[in-house]
Each structure stands twice: as structure tokens, then as C-alpha cells.
Structure 1
Amino acid sequence: MEYTKLGHTGLDVSRICLGSMSFGDSSNWIHKWLLNEEESRPIIKRALELGINFFDTANVYSLGKSEEILGSALKEYADRDQIVLATKVHGKMFDGPNGSGLSKKAIHSQIDHSLRRLQTDYVDLYIIHRWDYDTPIEETMEALHEIVKAGKVRYIGASAMYAWQFQKAQNIAEQHGWTKFVSMQNHLNLIYREEEREMIPYCDATKIALTPYSPLASGRLTRDASAHTKRSDTDEIARSKYDRTADQDQLIIKRVAELATKYEVSRVHVALAWLLQKRTVAAPIVGATKLSHVETAADAVQFKLTAKDIAYLEEPYVPHNIVGFS
């Protein structure tokens, strides 16, 4: 495994981050392809054996069950001082007032719930999952600063927003002397590159680390269009992101397959190598529902593409509608 600094911080993270959205309880959340605790733990353990030290989850994943599964496994299998643990806040955790969002009340309450579920005194990276249009960003940034100063959070990050929003939040934090974001978890892969227009140049200029989600486009970059999995057949969120542009994306997917055959590697190797060559990308968030998924992702860190390969993969891309900011 290779390691890198998380943006302009001194924090060392593995070049692959294990995403934990796939760990949880299908009965209480939108996804029906999740792994229960018994099925999840071997994957977490294998990730640690492969040198992955960066783990990402969210309070809203299975309404806290993902955090519980990850926290329990890491407590048993890992040294907390060697682990970089990230979770998120924003999503709806209960019906009624104050059940979601980025108010002071929500942030202070939800970090405590997350720490309890994760069985830890602090999280290394606390991420705002989406932009909250109903709460002043000044309130959000002050609350995040407060939980950092309270010792509950080491660094803060953001996810899935427009570049102007991210810049506004950073500017407000700087004006007040509050903690600033060190990372951006945005939607980025070979068939969705709209972040290259504004967000990535801004992050590059300000040394903000990228930890892209959906690096394999929910599996679309790893298999032929005719192949089916339980997730591909039931994941409505992924279908809403990619089905509309499926035809125009096929040429890119075919080129991924072509290069994988040429170099005798998996398509995962090619798709992740394209991301990892971007200097702003610290660690893609890779989900796994099989041991082979995490093993292949870890192995892909060693695979490199040539400049010619990269140009070949990128050439067919056409503009896409913005998705993922809901």
C-alpha cells in the first residue's frame, strides 16, 4: 500500500479509502444490496491486512448501522492511533424538526451519536455530506470549529457541492479564524468529470485533498453493460446518476476494457489508475461487497497508466448534467 498526506495536512492516509455505505441493514435504508455485520467484518479486516488505514462512513448510512459495524470491527482489529476514520453529517436521521441539516444543534448532537456508534473519542475527518440551504453557513462553520476545539474532531471536510459554495465556506472560516476544510469528497470518475471545470482547479490551487466517491461509477466501469448484479438491478440512486448517459458513456467503458486486456489487469485497475494520477486526488472512496473488491482496489495502487493511455480514455467524454448535489 502507498500512503500520502491528506492535502496540506500532516495526516498520512492510504491511497485507497474503504467506503462503508455497503455495510448496514437493508431493512431500514434505501439500498437493498447491503451486507450485514457478519458479512462486513471480513472485508474490513482484509482491508487492514492490505495496509488500508483510511475508512469512510456516514451517520445516515443505514441510519447509523454502518457506523456501528465499522466501529466495532475497527475496535477489535485495529490500533486506533493508526486508523484515519471519517464520518459525515447532514442526512435525515429522524422525522420531525432538527432531524437533519447542519445547524449547531444538529452538528453537536450528531457528532456525539456518531462517536458512540463508532466506539471512539474522536473522528479524524468530519465531513458535511451536502450543502444546507436552510442554515447560514456561518452557523455551520462555527459549529464545526467548536467540535474541533472540543477534541471530538481532528479535521473537517466537505462533500458534493458547487465550487462557489465551498469557496464561500472557506472564506468565512478564514475571516473568523475558524477551522477550514482540508478535503473535498466529490463525484468523480471516468464517465462523470464535471468536477474538472471548477471544483478541482480550486482544490488544486488551495491544496485541498480530493477523496472522490463513486470512483468506479457504481460498478459501470468494471463490467459490460449486459452484465447484472444485485446492486445494478436495485440501486435506484446509481441508476439516476448514470442511466441517462449510458449510451454515450459506452465508448469510454469499452476503452477501459481494452486497456485492461492490453495490460492484463482488471478494469478496476484502469479506472482507479486514472483517478490516482490526478495530483489533487489523495484517496478514492472504494466500496466493497466482496473480499475480491477490496483486494483488487488495493492492488490497483501499483498500476500506472501512460500519458497516452490517459488521453485515450478521456477523449470520448462529453458534458454531463450535474448530479449528486441533492
Structure 2
Amino acid sequence: MLKPILYAVATTLISTGAYAAIPMPDYAVPSQGQQVILNVPQLRLFLFQDGKLIKTYPITVGKASTQTPLGEYKIGAKVNKPTWSVPLSIQKEMAASGKAVQKSVPPGPNNPLGPVFVRLGEPRLGLGIHGTNVPSSVPGVRSHGCVRLRSPNALDFAATVQSGADAAVIYQQVSVNTDEQNDIWIAVYRDPYNKRNLNRKLLNQSISSWAEQHQLRVDQQRLNNALGKPANTLICLTCSTGKTKVSGNLSSLQWTSGKGETVEFKNVNPDNINSKQEITPESSSIEVDEDTDETPKQQNITPLHPTTTPAKKQPTSVKKVPITTIPASSDEGFDSLM
């Protein structure tokens, strides 16, 4: 028999409710300072300030053969208008495919790094978060390891994140959240790296424990259906018939950590954030071999691939809330896997 466990709930949304229907990851966000979280299966980046979510964007991550490495990092320097120094490996690919060999790509519309590059971790890792010259490639699972944002989002992120901030790349295939009426909502994502390591026993135990504490009934069929066919949509497991929307903001049910305490975070006014910038001179050269994909023909852009090594049954109907940044019923964004 499974032992009941109390699971922590982290309140992590800004008071405006702008991100009310975006599932929160299970991560112990610190109450002081900035924290960047990138959830690979969810294809989403979260930026927290003093425990509050202030920014979130859809992202493209590395494909299965060149995965974005999981782990904890620091945000490094930012490069405005980067020049891409094409690695020898990519130059060889260009030559082998009969394309004109490029040794570097200057700032501009053909640069796969977009308008800004933000280092992720030590320079030797060659990782970064940056824009793109192919906005239709975001969100997706198609880079060689770097994290790609649409260029306006990359500029916004670079202007807000602080060099030296903590960052974590995590791999959570299920987000378990509760709303302000204590109903349980889940979102199940595909397994792009084929890890097959979802702990269903702990997931069921966590959901059951919360429901029991709040005298709710879990629709097990809904849960089984969601796990059997990831749809990237929010599904309410405990809602009564007729409830179709999240009540207030979502908070993460920390089902993977189970710390047994409620985590309280202070409110933050995003307009008052002191965003320390550390941007290197414009046109700084960055060697990248991790990040571009096949460019659509109509865009007339040389297909390039960046990495970074800088140079210097209670309810009877299923209620779903679409997560608008990830295609819910297509394989878009998973072209290298599906």
C-alpha cells in the first residue's frame, strides 16, 4: 500500500494572471534572485524573479541525436548582433552537399543566431539561448543542442535575464498543477528523447494524495487517456461537470519532489526588476554547430546549424484547455523524431 505523502505547492504566477493557463513545472524556485527553467518535453522556457514567473516563451531544443543537455547552469554573457563563425564540421557538410562553403555569417536576416545570443553555462559547453532566422521552427525538437526562441522573444529574454542567474534544463513529461479551487489539472507531453522514465506510480500517488486531502474525486479514465496519448493540453482530473476553465492561476503540485510543505513566494512587479546587462560588443564572433535546421525553400536562406562556443467518475465530460504554444494535434516541431 502506498504511503500518503503531502506534496508542496509553489505559487509561481504573476498577479495579472497573464499565464494562468500555462502549466508550471515542478521545480523548487528560489524566493530570491532570478531562475531560468527550460522544460524539454514542454518546449517552454520560464523566467522567475524572486519566486514569481515574469516571462515564459516557447522554445526549440536539440533533436534526439544532439540533445540539449540536462543540468544546472549559469546564464553567461550576452552577444548583441552576433557573427556566426561556421565550424569546420558544418563547412564540410556544406561542401559535401554541393553548397557554397561559408566560414562566417555576419549579423542580419540570414544569421541563424538571430539578433542576440545568451550563453548557457561555461563557454566550453558551446550552449546558448538565441534567436533564429526561421521563426516557424519554434517551438520544436530540431536543433543540435542550443535553445532557440523566436527573435522578438530572444530580445525580450536577453533584456530581462541577468548574467549570472541560475538556470536549469529539466525533463518533465507531465505537469501536475492545481487551480485556486484546488482542482487538479495535468498536461502530458511527448517523450522527445525517448527516456521512458515517467514514474507513473509516484504520479498516481501524488494525485491521489492531493485529491484525498481536499475531498476530491479523480477521474482515473481521464488520467489514463492523457498518459496514453500525450496531447499537450490541460486536462482537469477532478472538475465537476460544466467547469471548463482554470479557476485563477495554476500552481505546481510538486509531485516529483514531495517536500511536504507549502512554498510561499513574494509578489514581484516586473516593471521594477533591475535587469543587469552584460552584453559583449556588437558583431562578436560565435562558433556554432548546434542549432539550425532545414530552412524552408521559400525563405531563400542557407540552411545552417548553430551550437555555441564563443570566441572570447464524477465528471462525465473531459474538460481541456489548449496550450497555445505547442501544436496539440500534429507532429510539427518533432520532424526529426516522428
Note whether the superposition's TM-score is higher than 0.5: no
Query: Relative contact order: is structure 1 or structure 2 higher (C-alpha 8 Å, sep ≥ 6)?
Result: 2
Higher strand share: 2
- With normalisation by structure 2, the TM-score equals 0.24
- With normalisation by structure 1, the TM-score equals 0.25
Bigger radius of gyration: 2
Higher helix share: 1
